[in-house]
Structure 1
Amino acid sequence: MAIFGSNNEEKEVRDRDREEYLAEKNNQKRIGQKWQDVQVSTGPINVNHDVLTVVFAKSVRPKIESEDETILSTNGFENLLQELQKKALDAGGNGLIHCHFTEQFIENRVYQLAYGTAVNIKITRF
C-alpha cells in the first residue's frame, strides 16, 4: 500500500487521471480541429474562454483598375481571415475575437492588414 504523495510517479498518474476526469466531467473539448471551424467575432464574446495570443495577417497586392473593385477587396479580406483562422488553430485556439481589418491604397498598391486575439473557447455545462 502506497502512502499518499510518497512517489512522484504515483503523483503524476493521479494528476493525469484527475485532469482527464475533470475534462470529461466538464465536457471541455475543442470545438474545431480544422481552420474552417475556428469561430470568428469582431467583438467580445460572452462565453468562457482562455486568451492565447494575438495573430496577424497582411497582404500587399497591385491595385487592379476595375469597375468591380469591391469584389477584389472582399476576396483579399477572405484570404486574410483564412490566414488568421489557421494561425489561431496553430496557437492552440478554436476562436478569434476582436478581429480588425484595414485597407490602404498607396500609389498602385493595396495594403491589407488583419489581426485578432486567438482564444480557446470552453464548453461547460450549467
Structure 2
Amino acid sequence: MPVVMMPESGRLYTHVNFTARSSKEGSKEQLFFAELYNCGKRRAPGGFLVTCCEPLGSDSTVGHKGFQVDGASALRKNVDFARCFACGLVTRHPRGEKYIAGHCNVPHIYTSTC
C-alpha cells in the first residue's frame, strides 16, 4: 500500500492505506485510511500520533495530486477540505474533513512529497 509523507503548517504528516480484519471467524478484510502526525519520540513513544483512522466504504475518494482545481468545493482560499492534493490516485481517503493534511490546493505545493 502507498505511504505518502507531506509537510503541513510546519508539521510532518503521513497518509497510508491498509487492510485489517476482525478476529471473528469468517470476517472479511476491510480497507482503511490512516493519517499519522510524525511528532517525534519525545511526544509519543512510537514517534507519531494517529490523527485519523477510518474504514473506507464505497463513498471514499482518491488523492488529487496534480489535478486541476475547479474551486467548487473550496471553503477558504487555497483550501479544499473535500480532497487531498498530496496523494496520488492510488491512495484512498474518507470523504469530508476527517483528516488534517493535504487540503492545500495551491499548484505544486506537494510536488516534493514522497
- TM, length-normalised to structure 2: 0.22
- TM, length-normalised to structure 1: 0.20
Which structure shows the higher helix fraction?
1
Structure with the larger RCO, 1 or 2 (CA within 8 Å, 6+ apart): 1
